[in-house]
Amino acid sequence: MNNDKLILGGHEFNSRFILGSGKYSMKLIEAAIQDAGAEIITLAVRRANTKEQESILDYIPEGITLLPNTSGARNAEEAVRIARLARELGCGNFVKIEIMRDSKYLLPDNQETVKATEILAKEGFVVMPYMYPDLNVARDLVNAGAACVMPLASPIGSNKGLATKEFIQILIDEIDLPVIVDAGIGRPSQACEAMEMGAAAIMANTALATAGDLPMMASAFRQAIEAGRKAYLSGLGRVLTRGASASDPLTGFLRD
């Protein structure tokens, strides 16, 4: 387990929990780092673009990687502009691409995401694209230079868990980059399930932000993610999907 690192764009991380940016507060960031063990914290550039006294940039401790996202972008061009602005603001080279043309469900626009990924990867960004789990698009993202793919589990903020489970499994099976499950994870058990499937990491925000006891929920996520990861690495026991296993094998009559 000690050598089990999450590698993104050549950077190594021990933690497989990434804090999302949807509902951020200083308390949430503190709990995510201390109790969930997060090493990557997402930051909405549009929120960081403030004179506000409580600028998130002042609250990120040493050793934590900032992951600016492009929320607010409606197309590739806007996402590229926001990513460049993030770099100017001193947020580093990581960028999470979020492109939404839908204010109701906030579903990502896969086509525009591929375009933005290609441009930003060429500019040296470590590009982490948020996407709807579609295998062809995931392959395009790999070719465009993404550092991982980030399929949604269910609509953002919904806490509904792995509604797209089958399709995320396909990405895990077919894509050689880390598959980070983003959006919709509402409970530690769902995070655990995704990790058992072979997800490389979990991004969550609402599940923590709306919890009664923030630090306790953060630590529950840490344990769930670690448990799921261990189960995946250990090779899960076989699952019997059709009836019981015959104790007398059907082929027992064969003599050579």
Partner 1 sequence: MDNQFFVDSAYLSPEALAKKHRLEQDPFYRKNHMEYLPGMEIIQSDVCENVMAQMHAYDASQYTAADVKAALAHETCTIEDFKALLSPAAEPFLEQMAQRARLETSKHFGNTVYLFTPLYIANYCENYCVYCGFNCYNHIKRMKLSMEQIEKEMKVIANSGMEEILILTGESRGQSDVAYIGEACKMARKYFRMVGLEIYPVNTDEYKYLHECGADYVTVFQETYDTDKYEQLHLLGHKRVWPYRFDAQERALRGGMRGVAFSALLGLSDFRKDALASALHVYYLQRKYPHAEMSLSCPRLRPIINNDQINPLDVGEKQLCQVLCAYRIFLPFVGITVSSRESAEFRNGIVKIAATKVSAGVSTGIGDHESKYTGKENADVQGDEQFEIDDNRSLDKMYRDISEEGLQPVLNDYLYV
199's CB contacts (< 8 A; 6+ apart) are 168, 172, 179, 180, 181, 228
CB of 220 to partner 1, least distance (A): 19
Is residue 180 involved in binding partner 1 (CB under 8 A)?
Answer: no
According to the binding rule CB under 8 A, does residue 53 interact with partner 1? yes
Instruction: State which of positions 87-146 bind partner 1 (CB under 8 A).
Output: 100-106
Distance CA 152, CA 172 (A): 13
Which one of residues 9, 11, 30, 46 is an interface residue with partner 1 (CB under 8 A)? 46
Which residue in the set 72, 92, 198, 215 belongs to the binding site for partner 1 (CB under 8 A)? 72
CB of 23 to partner 1, least distance (A): 3
Q: Does 215 bind partner 1 (CB under 8 A)?
A: no
| Residue in this structure with the two tokens 């959006």, named with its chain if needed | 183
Counting residues that bind partner 1 (by CB under 8 A) gives 33
Strands (E) in the chain, as ranges, are 6-8, 11-13, 17-19, 40-44, 65-69, 94-97, 126-131, 150-151, 180-182, 201-204
Residue 78 vs 134, nearer CB to partner 1: 78
Q: In Å, how far are 86, 94, 150, 170, 179 from 97, measured between CA atoms?
A: 12, 10, 10, 22, 15
158 binds partner 1 (CB under 8 A): yes
Beta strands (DSSP E) in 121-226 are 126-131, 150-151, 180-182, 201-204
**Would you state the structure tokens that stand for residue 134, as one six-digit string?**
């579609």
> In this complex, which beta carbon is closest to partner 1, that of residue 64 or of residue 107?
107
Q: How far apart are CA 142 and CA 247, in angstroms?
A: 45
Q: Is 160 marked active-site?
A: no
Catalytic residue among 5, 96, 104, 160: 96
**Exposed, middle or buried: residue 74 (CB in 10 Å: 0-12, 13-18, 19+)?**
middle
Contacting residue, 82, 83, 152, 191, with partner 1 by CB under 8 A = 82
14 is a contact residue toward partner 1 (CB under 8 A): no
- The residues assigned a catalytic role are 96
In the complex, the residues that contact partner 1 under the rule CB under 8 A are 22-25, 44-47, 49-53, 72-74, 78, 81-82, 85, 100-106, 157-159, 206, 209-210
